[in-house]
């Protein structure tokens, strides 16, 4: 029986991208997807970062047939409806087609695909993982759980937002993208590439009980409260799914990693689920590659966990602050459960760079530090000294292609900013010494003073 290097459970964006990256790195990869493709999936609005990620992976063709997201009618803070200009990079896709193309790209890179095949609960055997299929058992050294909210490997989760249900329906028709708030909901609707329109309403689960589980009646009521969806038909098939955000309590071990929605989910308010699924898949591939190639396991695991924790916390804070901007119904339980004011900015004040600074000594701001940090370097995770500060979104090890820590070491020997720039200029390409200093001053990380 073939023993694979890696078995990936699930062929959504996270599973396909992780499998493809690992196959390109030379690993023998098998992917198991329980449904035949193309299959329908919610999550059609792709945030502006997705095209750039696909470019890096050489997968831009997955966006063929997408439509630009277009401007949106937004009624959020109060009862005023604003026209919001679109970000030209944001697109809406047919997720059935999008996911199908990504899986085909993984297959073209040599990934063996078992589909349709449902993976049973994997177990650890004497030589690694055993993944039961209906008539077969797959064996692999490393497991990637990319099974989305089904979380095929199980384990516990911690909620990162209020429990939420999404009620959604599709109807023939078009119209602008709309985002609106009601006393017990917020709703989103957008035209899809195939000429249909999808609208979703997000609610607390107990509201469905109050409506005796009559999802259709509740859905119509919720859309009505936003005042933005009067053009919908009366008769609709309404589906319900869970949309609670959580993070898995154990996203990575020495022989298993969870990616995409198996690792953490975002509030759909961010429209960034696919973006974060692809990013986590890329980080997981580097993590698995480090472990499989005998690299620094501890660094690899710490890198993946830290990256996931930071991403989940950043999104949760952004989402809560966005709910907090809503005013009309802010006393209603739906809004009270979700809204949190944005945290006070920990960012230090930037120092104005004047010619006078050139002749004065410079130093790092008090709570900045340079510490050993797990970083992806090429295709493996390794320890690098990186700059940390509470205001930075994460540790910074490189500026462009240059390592930052050796540059910061020069601070100890440079009597003035002019001396520092001279030392850096001897090591860096033209203009980069000044650009690095400007960035550090602008972020308030470098300050004048002995
Ligand atoms: C209501 C709602 C609205 C959303 N809207 C947006 C949006 O507008 N934009 C956005 O970017 N994101 C959105 N998202 C999130 C987005 O859909 C997900 O983040 C994204 O699909 C995650 O990708 P994934 O690969 O992790 O999981 P999935 O895409 O769910 O893929 C998991 C795959 O695993 C397969 N699978 C499951 N169990 C097994 C098993 N045992 N064996 C084999 N295969 C299995 C499934 O069939 C599936 O194909 C939304 C989510 C919700 C709930």
Measured from CB, residues less than 6 Å from any atom of ligand 1 are 9-15, 32-35, 41-47, 118-119, 146-148, 150, 152, 166, 200, 241, 243, 260-261, 268, 271-275, 277
Confidence of residue 430 (pLDDT cuts 50, 70, 90): confident
Query: Please, is 28 exposed, middle or buried when counting C-beta atoms within 10 Å of its C-beta (0-12, 13-18, 19+)?
Result: middle
Could you list the beta-strand ranges (E) of 95-208.
112-114, 123-125, 128-132, 137-145, 157-159, 165-172, 177-182, 185-191, 196-203
- Whether 2 shows a pLDDT value over 70: the answer reads no
Residues 235 and 279 in one domain: no
CATH number at residue 223: 3.30.70
Residues 267 and 297 in one domain: yes
Whole-angstrom distance, CA of residue 143 vs CA of residue 139: 9
Structure tokens at 119: 């993976």
Give mean pLDDT, residues 146-166. Answer: 97
Tens of pLDDT along 360-376?
999 999 899 999 999 99
Give mean pLDDT, residues 154-176. Answer: 95
From ligand 1's centre to the CA of 305, what distance in Å? Answer: 21
Residues 366 and 272 in one domain: no
Residues 18 and 54 in one domain: yes
Q: Are 411 and 351 in contact, with CB atoms under 8 Å apart?
A: no
431: left (phi over 0), alpha (psi -120 to 50) or beta: left
Instruction: Kindly report the protein residue whose alpha carbon is nearest to atom 38 of ligand 1.
Output: 147
Evaluated on CA atoms 32, 33, 37, 41, the torsion sign reads negative
Ligand 1 pocket test target in 120, 148, 192, 193 with most atoms within 8 Å of CB: 148
The predicted pLDDT at position 313 comes to: 93
Residues 409 and 429 in one domain: yes
Whole-angstrom distance, CA of residue 198 vs CA of residue 231: 12
The predicted pLDDT at position 66 comes to: 94
- Whether 326 shows a pLDDT value over 80: the answer reads yes
Global pTM? Answer: 0.93
State phi, psi for 76 to the nearest 5 degrees: -125, -65
Give mean pLDDT, residues 2-20. Answer: 96
Structural domains of the chain, count = 3
Confidence of residue 307 (pLDDT cuts 50, 70, 90): very high
| Number of C-beta neighbours around residue 22 at 10 A | 30
CATH number at residue 97: 3.50.50.60
Residues 114 and 26 in one domain: yes
State phi, psi for 386 to the nearest 5 degrees: -135, 155
Exposure of 423 in the CB half-sphere (CA atoms within 13 A): 16
Instruction: Kindly report the protein residue whose alpha carbon is nearest to atom 5 of ligand 1.
Output: 43
With b for 16 or more beta-carbon neighbours within 10 A and e for fewer, the 297-310 pattern comes to eebbbbbbbebbee
Q: Are 416 and 360 in contact, with CB atoms under 8 Å apart?
A: yes
| Percent of the chain scoring above 70 in pLDDT | 98
The answer to the question of residue 275 being in a domain is yes
From ligand 1's centre to the CA of 426, what distance in Å? Answer: 49
**CA 280 to ligand 1: nearest atom:** 26
The answer to the question of residue 254 being in a domain is yes
Q: How many angstroms from the chain centroid is the CA of residue 100? A: 20
From ligand 1's centre to the CA of 97, what distance in Å? Answer: 14
User: Could you tell me the residue range of the domain that residue 262 belongs to?
Assistant: 3-64+93-157+248-324
Residues 116 and 181 in one domain: no
Among 242, 272, 292, the domain-final residue is 242
- Whether 401 shows a pLDDT value over 80: the answer reads no
The answer to the question of residue 75 being in a domain is no
Residues 119 and 101 in one domain: yes
| Percent of the chain scoring above 90 in pLDDT | 83
**CA 272 to ligand 1: nearest atom:** 11
Instruction: Give, rounded to a whole angstrom, the gap between the first and last alpha carbons of the chain.
Output: 67
Tens of pLDDT along 76-131?
999 999 999 989 999 999 999 999 999 999 999 999 999 999 999 999 998 899 99
Residue written as token pair 């490393």: 142
Residues 47 and 146 in one domain: yes
Among 226, 242, 258, the domain-final residue is 242
Residues 54 and 122 in one domain: yes
Residue written as token pair 């309590």: 249
From ligand 1's centre to the CA of 41, what distance in Å? Answer: 7
**CA 263 to ligand 1: nearest atom:** 26
State phi, psi for 347 to the nearest 5 degrees: -70, 130
Confidence of residue 400 (pLDDT cuts 50, 70, 90): confident
Confidence of residue 1 (pLDDT cuts 50, 70, 90): low
The answer to the question of residue 81 being in a domain is no
- Whether 156 shows a pLDDT value over 90: the answer reads yes
The answer to the question of residue 380 being in a domain is yes
Residues 263 and 142 in one domain: yes
The answer to the question of residue 270 being in a domain is yes
The answer to the question of residue 83 being in a domain is no
Residues 288 and 151 in one domain: yes
Give mean pLDDT, residues 33-42. Answer: 95
With b for 16 or more beta-carbon neighbours within 10 A and e for fewer, the 169-187 pattern comes to bbbeeebbbbbbbbebbbb
Residue written as token pair 């830290």: 306
The predicted pLDDT at position 345 comes to: 66
Lowest mean pLDDT among 9-18, 322-331, 431-440: 431-440
Q: Is 113 helix (H, G, I), strand (E, B) or coil?
A: strand
The predicted pLDDT at position 69 comes to: 87
Ligand 1 pocket test target in 10, 103, 121, 122 with most atoms within 8 Å of CB: 10
Tens of pLDDT along 39-85?
999 999 999 999 999 999 999 999 999 999 888 999 999 999 999 99
Instruction: Kindly report the protein residue whose alpha carbon is nearest to atom 37 of ligand 1.
Output: 147
Q: How far is CA 16 from CA 219, 245, 288, 307, in A?
A: 34, 22, 15, 20
From ligand 1's centre to the CA of 149, what distance in Å? Answer: 7
The predicted pLDDT at position 354 comes to: 81
Whole-angstrom distance, CA of residue 102 vs CA of residue 119: 20
Please, what is the average pLDDT of the chain?
Answer: 94
Among 304, 324, 344, the domain-final residue is 324
The answer to the question of residue 19 being in a domain is yes
- Whether 195 shows a pLDDT value over 80: the answer reads yes
Instruction: Kindly report the protein residue whose alpha carbon is nearest to atom 53 of ligand 1.
Output: 243
Angle, helices 49-57/13-24, rounded to nearest 10 degrees: 30
The predicted pLDDT at position 450 comes to: 62
């Amino acid at each position: 029986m073939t023993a694979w290097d890696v078995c990936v459970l699930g062929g959504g964006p996270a599973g396909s991208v992780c499998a493809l990256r690992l196959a390109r790195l030379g690993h023998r990869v098998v992917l198991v997807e329980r449904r035949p493709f193309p299959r329908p999936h919610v999550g059609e609005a792709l945030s502006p970062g997705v095209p750039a990620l696909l470019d890096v992976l050489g997968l831009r063709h997955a966006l063929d047939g997408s439509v630009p997201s277009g401007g949106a009618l937004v009624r959020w803070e109060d009862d005023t409806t604003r026209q919001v200009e679109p970000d030209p990079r944001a697109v809406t896709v047919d997720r059935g087609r999008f996911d199908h193309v990504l899986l085909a790209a993984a297959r073209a890179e040599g990934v063996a695909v078992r589909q349709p095949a449902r993976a049973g609960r994997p177990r650890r055997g004497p030589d690694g993982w055993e993944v039961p299929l209906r008539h077969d058992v797959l064996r692999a050294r490393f497991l990637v759980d990319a099974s989305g909210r089904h979380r095929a490997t199980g384990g516990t989760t911690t909620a990162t937002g209020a429990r939420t249900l999404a009620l959604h329906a599709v109807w023939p028709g078009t119209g602008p993208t709309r985002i609106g708030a009601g006393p017990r909901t917020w709703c989103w609707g957008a035209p899809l590439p195939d000429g249909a329109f999808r609208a979703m309403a997000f609610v607390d689960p107990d509201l469905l009980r109050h409506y005796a589980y009559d999802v259709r009646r509740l859905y119509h009521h919720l859309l009505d409260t936003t005042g933005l969806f009067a053009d919908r038909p009366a008769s609709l098939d309404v589906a319900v799914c869970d949309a609670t955000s959580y993070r898995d309590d154990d996203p990575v071990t020495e022989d298993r990693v969870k990616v995409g929605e198996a690792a953490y989910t975002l509030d759909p308010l961010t429209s960034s689920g696919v973006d974060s699924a692809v990013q986590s898949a890329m980080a997981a591939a580097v993590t698995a590659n480090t472990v499989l190639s005998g690299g620094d396991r501890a660094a690899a695991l710490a890198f993946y966990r830290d990256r996931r924790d930071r991403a989940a916390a950043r999104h949760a804070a952004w989402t809560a602050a966005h709910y907090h901007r809503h005013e009309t119904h802010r006393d209603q339980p739906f809004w009270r459960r979700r809204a949190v004011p944005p945290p006070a900015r920990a960012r230090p004040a930037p120092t104005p760079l004047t010619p006078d600074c050139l002749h004065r000594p410079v130093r790092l701001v008090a709570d900045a530090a340079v510490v050993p940090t797990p970083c992806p370097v090429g295709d493996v995770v390794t320890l690098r000294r990186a700059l940390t500060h509470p205001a930075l979104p994460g540790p910074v090890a490189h500026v462009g292609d240059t390592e930052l820590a050796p540059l910061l070491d020069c601070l100890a020997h440079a009597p003035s900013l002019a001396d520092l720039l001279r030392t850096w200029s001897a090591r860096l390409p033209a203009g980069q010494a000044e650009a690095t200093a400007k960035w550090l001053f602008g972020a308030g990380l470098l300050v004048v003073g002995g």
